[in-house]
Amino acid sequence: METLPVGRRVAYWRGRRKLSQQVFADRLGKSKSWVDKVERGVRSLDKVSTLQEVATVLRIDTAVLLGRDVQPTDVSDRTADVERAHAADPMAGRGSLVEAYRITASLLVKLGEPDLAWLAVDRAMTAASRDRILVAAAAVQLGQVLRGCGQVRAARSAMLAAAYRIVPPTIKDGTPAELSLGGALLVQAALAAARSGDEAAVVDLFGEATALAAQVGDGHDHHRTGFGPTAVQTARVTAAVELGDGGDAVAWHEKTTDRDGWRWLPVEYRAAHLIDAARAYLHTDDPVSAGRALMEADRMAPAEVRHRPAGRDVLAQIVRDPTAPTTLVHLAATVGVG
């Protein structure tokens, strides 16, 4: 997909969204002939505004349409958006407020600050109250925070309760948002089970999450979950590492990166996964492959490796090996890891 021209990407995503050329054209306010010419490369998409319109109808980021990594939104811009929304209508702006608290909680967990993350997720849950979708979205971060605090039993219990509240009894009746949130919650429950060493529960929970992921598909990011078949496989790697099964983790990693959906995961998700993959390779006494995985993570999202305690810990382990890549040795010296 990375080497495909824009027109072919448009055709690919139109097919993924199950839109005929006529329906797609109608939503864009264009003719079917225009769509056909774009997809065949006869007509180019050379206007930014047109690219944005096409991406909006296809429900993807413009960067994905261009075959580039999606760049993170500037924090100051996101903060300003939340403040404006809340000032205009405190109730209508709840979605943005919950999202801001969720992002804050997730970042604090990554930085090894679970106590501060708890404050953020508590405010997210409060802001989300009386909106079942927002409550489920905030609960995903609650699972991360509880695991970060070492409360794995509470995390598993809370995630299961939240998942079964949001997912309808019949999966096919669920909306993409409900299934994505329910699946993300089941993944959090599976990771909590892995932390407590309950392998049987891990298998069962990932089985349930996989069934939901099959309905959602890859290439979506409903409520910033990134949930889909590929995301479930990345979580299987994390769980296998937690269970101490490096071989299984490596096998899942190699299957994951071979999937088309790997390219559509948010870049920070891919980098975090590669850090887990590096841990898996270390468990199998393969520091060379661990080094390659970490270098790829650093190329994608340097902050994941250089500032996250998990990334710095893996970097420190790799550079202790005499065969460690010179690039990583220099990186370790630069960021003060040794």
The mean per-residue pLDDT over the stretch 75-94 comes to 74
Return the pLDDT at 9. 86
Alpha-carbon distance of 228 to 211, in angstroms, equals 10
The mean per-residue pLDDT over the stretch 104-122 comes to 94
Return the pLDDT at 36. 92
Examine residue 314 and state whether it is found in any structural domain, yes or no.
yes
- Domain end marker among 19, 35, 65: 65
Q: CATH no. for residue 19? A: 1.10.260.40
- Domain end marker among 65, 98, 114: 65
pLDDT tens column, 45-58: 878 788 888 988 88
Examine residue 321 and state whether it is found in any structural domain, yes or no.
yes
pLDDT tens column, 221-272: 889 898 999 999 999 999 999 999 999 999 999 999 999 889 888 888 999 9
Examine residue 216 and state whether it is found in any structural domain, yes or no.
no
Examine residue 275 and state whether it is found in any structural domain, yes or no.
yes
Examine residue 337 and state whether it is found in any structural domain, yes or no.
yes
Return the pLDDT at 71. 57
Examine residue 296 and state whether it is found in any structural domain, yes or no.
yes
Examine residue 26 and state whether it is found in any structural domain, yes or no.
yes
Length of the chain: 338
pLDDT tens column, 283-307: 999 999 999 999 999 998 899 999 9
Examine residue 49 and state whether it is found in any structural domain, yes or no.
yes
Q: Mapped to the 3 state alphabet, what secondary structure does 174-223 carry?
A: CCHHHHHHHHHHHHHHHHHHHHCCCHHHHHHHHHHHHHHHHHHCCCCCHH
Domain count, the chain: 2
- Domain end marker among 15, 43, 65: 65
Domain that holds residue 292: 266-338
Return the pLDDT at 308. 92
